[in-house]
């Protein structure tokens, strides 16, 4: 009597994709009985072990393992879906790959390059504009500082004048010279007269 084989559902063990001159994707499945592998491109099955225009599929089976590789020589359509499906009577397992065109990546690279260049040019324009406006800004700041300085000097000179007036009014009068007192001096003199009386 033959020993009964244990049945194992199909499982995807390994998958990879590389893009050099051609796009190559590989899938490895394990199962008992040995799984069959089918590739689908855009929902359409791709022929096994043969060339189909721009596609080439190579599949090998060894014991419970099934390996399959697909090569695509033409640019894939934007958003095209590639499906690797392994199945036996106990189950199905699949891997889906979304293909993007190299042209679309070049377009996005060109967009990013343009965006970076635009940002650099904008920075240069802003820097030049600032350099052109710098003399006006400096002139405006100096004008403000000159006004502040003039106001401070005027305030100080009025205080100095007031203190000088006060000193001259407190000096004793020289005999024989008529005195002409300013308004503030006459007030001070009046106050002094009131105190004396």
| Number of separate domains in the chain | 2
Lookup result for tokens 């106990």: 90
Whether residue 147 is contained in a domain is answered as yes
Whether residue 186 is contained in a domain is answered as no
Q: Which domain holds residue 133?
A: 104-152
For residue range 121-137, list pLDDT tens digits in order.
888 888 888 888 888 88
Q: Which CA distances in Å does 62 have to 34, 36, 37, 47, 67?
A: 8, 11, 13, 20, 8
Is 92 in the same domain as 72?
A: yes
Whether residue 120 is contained in a domain is answered as yes
Q: Are 41 and 82 in contact (CB under 8 A)?
A: yes
The whole-number pLDDT of residue 142 equals 92
- The answer to pTM > 0.85 is no
Is 94 in the same domain as 141?
A: no
Proportion of the chain above pLDDT 70, given as a percent:
72
Q: How far apart are the C-alpha atoms of 92 and 37, rounded to whole Å?
A: 10
Is 91 in the same domain as 109?
A: no
Is 14 in the same domain as 89?
A: yes
Q: How far apart are the C-alpha atoms of 60 and 68, rounded to whole Å?
A: 6
Is 12 in the same domain as 96?
A: yes
Is 97 in the same domain as 114?
A: no
Q: Given pLDDT bands bounded at 50, 70 and 90, which one contains residue 180? A: low
Is 12 in the same domain as 97?
A: yes
Is 112 in the same domain as 76?
A: no
Query: Is pLDDT of 116 > 70?
Result: yes
Query: Is pLDDT of 165 > 80?
Result: no
For residue range 143-159, list pLDDT tens digits in order.
999 999 988 888 888 87
Q: Are 18 and 34 in contact (CB under 8 A)?
A: no
For residue range 10-60, list pLDDT tens digits in order.
898 888 888 777 788 899 999 988 999 988 888 888 875 445 567 788 888
Q: What's CA 125's distance to the chain center, in Å?
A: 20
């Amino acid at each position: 009597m033959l020993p009964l084989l244990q049945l194992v559902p199909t499982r995807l063990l390994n998958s990879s994709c590389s893009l050099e001159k051609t796009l190559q994707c590989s899938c490895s499945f394990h199962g008992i009985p040995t799984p069959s592998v089918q590739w689908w491109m855009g929902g359409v099955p791709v022929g096994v072990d043969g060339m189909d225009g721009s596609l080439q599929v190579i599949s090998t089976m060894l014991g419970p393992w099934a390996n399959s590789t697909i090569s695509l020589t033409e640019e894939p359509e934007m958003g095209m879906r590639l499906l690797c499906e392994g199945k036996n009577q106990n189950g199905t397992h699949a891997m889906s790959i979304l293909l993007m065109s190299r042209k679309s990546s070049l377009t996005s690279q060109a967009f990013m390059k343009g965006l970076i260049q635009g940002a650099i040019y904008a920075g240069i324009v802003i820097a030049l504009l600032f350099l052109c406006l710098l003399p006006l800004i400096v002139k405006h700041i100096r004008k403000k500082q000159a006004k502040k300085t003039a106001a401070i000097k005027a305030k100080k000179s009025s205080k100095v004048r007031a203190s000088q007036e006060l000193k001259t009014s407190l000096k004793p009068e020289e005999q024989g010279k008529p005195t002409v007192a300013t308004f503030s001096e006459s007030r001070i003199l009046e106050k002094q007269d009131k105190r004396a009386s």
